Amino acid sequence: MKMIVMVVQAEDAGGLLAQLTESGYRTTRIKTAGGFLRDTNATIFLGIEDQQVDDVLRIVRENCTTRRQHINPVPPVMEPGEFFLPYPVEVEVGGATVFVLDVARFERI
């Protein structure tokens, strides 16, 4: 048995969850935020059998794509008299970070 933990951008989470549910997988979603962009993410948990891992990863790849986005950086802590001119920075967002963990014991109560 495996537990999959996925961190995906909130924009991708709805489609991913719909596809996983349609494919018969039970999921739990937790609303999270990223540390770098401070943008909303979704952390999704699901328990599956070992042979289902490839199917779940296929669904993730189909629904979580990377894309380029311009952001304004967060101003640093500044001393009085200084000023900060934010310039938009292009970053890659989206995709998914997936952890596949072995499960020693599973019970549904």
Widest Cα–Cα separation across the chain = 61
Residue 93 · residue 2 · CB < 8 Å: no
**pLDDT tens for residues 85-104?**
567 766 666 788 999 999 99
Token pair of 1, please? 């048995």
- pLDDT, one tens digit per residue, over 8-32 is 988 899 999 999 999 999 999 999 8
- The CATH code of the domain at 2-73+86-102 is 3.30.70.120
| Among 108, 2, 13, 11, residue whose Cα is nearest residue 55 | 2
